[in-house]
């Protein structure tokens, strides 16, 4: 049996002229064989970092 592969993709762009121009669309899954399990869009870089950190922490805790 192969180890599940987790995947996180971030599609990011800027809406010029917006007060908060960042748009980061995140798709993530802890097992690609199930497809993407969650999707969220954020406009704040700190929250993007939090989402990535949470994803990695979930991965580590599920492997232990």
Task: Return the structure tokens found at 33.
Answer: 């064989």
Asked if residue 64 binds another protein (CB under 8 A), the reply is no
Nearer Cβ to another protein (19/46)? 19
Could you tell me if 23 and 41 are in contact, meaning their C-beta atoms sit under 8 angstroms apart? Answer: yes
Could you tell me if 62 and 35 are in contact, meaning their C-beta atoms sit under 8 angstroms apart? Answer: no
Could you tell me if 55 and 45 are in contact, meaning their C-beta atoms sit under 8 angstroms apart? Answer: no
Segment 1-60, which members bind another protein (CB under 8 A)?
7, 9, 11, 13, 15-20, 23, 25, 32, 35, 41-43
For another protein, the binding residues (CB under 8 A) are 7, 9, 11, 13, 15-20, 23, 25, 32, 35, 41-43
């Amino acid at each position: 049996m192969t180890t599940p592969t987790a995947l996180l993709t971030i599609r990011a762009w800027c809406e010029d002229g917006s007060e908060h121009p960042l748009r980061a669309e995140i798709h993530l899954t802890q097992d690609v064989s199930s497809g993407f399990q969650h999707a969220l869009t954020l406009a704040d870089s700190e929250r993007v970092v939090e989402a990535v950190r949470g994803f990695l922490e979930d991965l580590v805790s599920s492997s232990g």
